[in-house]
Structure 1
Amino acid sequence: MGNKIGRKYGISRRYGVSLWGQAKDPVNSRKYPPGEHGTSGFKRFSDFGKQFAAHNKLKAYYNLRTSRQFKNTFVKAKRMVKKVGNIIDSFTGLLESRLMSVLYRSGLASTIFTARQFVSHNHVTVNDKMVNIASYTVKPGDLIKIKKKLIHSNGKKESEVQLGVLESSSYLKIDFCIEDKQEYYTIEYLRMPKFSEIPYPIDMEINLIVEFFSR
Structure 2
Amino acid sequence: MTKRTESKFKINRRLGVNLWGRAKSPVAKRDYGPGQHGQRRKKPSDYGVQLMAKQKLKGYYGNISEKQFRKYYEEAVRRKGDTSENLIELLERRLDTVVYRMKLAITPFAARQFVSHGHLLVNGRRVNIASYRVSNDDVIEVREKSKQLAVVLDATQSAEREVPEYMEVDNRSLKGRYLRAPKLADVPFPVQMEPNLVVEFYSR
Residue 202 of structure 1: which of 191, 198, 204 is its match?
191
Offset of residue 64 of structure 1: 4.1
Partner of 1:76: 75
Runs of 4+ in 1 over 6 A off after TM superposition: none
Q: How does 1:37-48 map to 2 (within 5 A)?
A: 37-39=37-39, 41-48=40-47
The answer to whether structure 1 residue 117 and structure 2 residue 113 are counterparts is yes
TM-score (norm 1): 0.85
Name the SS for the 2:176 alignment partner: strand
What is the alpha-carbon distance in structure 2 between the residues aligned to residue 44 and residue 149 of structure 1? Answer: 52
TM-score (norm 2): 0.89
Name the SS for the 1:38 alignment partner: coil
What is the alpha-carbon distance in structure 1 between the residues aligned to residue 179 and residue 20 of structure 2? Answer: 24
Once the two structures are overlaid, the 10-residue window that deviates more, 142-151 or 4-13, is 142-151
What is the alpha-carbon distance in structure 1 between the residues aligned to residue 55 and residue 131 of structure 2? Answer: 18
Q: Which structure features the higher share of helix residues?
A: 1
**Pair member with larger Rg:** 1
Partner of 1:189: 178
Q: How does 1:82-121 map to 2 (within 5 A)?
A: 85-121=81-117
Aligned pairs, number: 203
RMSD: 2.2
* Percentage of identical aligned residues: 43
> Residue type matched to 2:52 in 1?
A
> Residue type matched to 1:14 in 2?
R
What is the alpha-carbon distance in structure 1 between the residues aligned to residue 100 and residue 147 of structure 2? Answer: 12
What per-residue deviation string (whole Å, max 9, x for no partner) do you get for residues 40-88 of structure 1?
Answer: x33322111111111111111001431111111111112222xxx4222
What per-residue deviation string (whole Å, max 9, x for no partner) do you get for residues 131-188 of structure 1?
Answer: 1110000000111111477455234547x62677x931111111257xxxxxx42111
The answer to whether structure 1 residue 140 and structure 2 residue 140 are counterparts is no
> Residue type matched to 2:93 in 1?
S
Contact in 2 for aligned 1:93/1:193 (Cα 8 Å):
yes
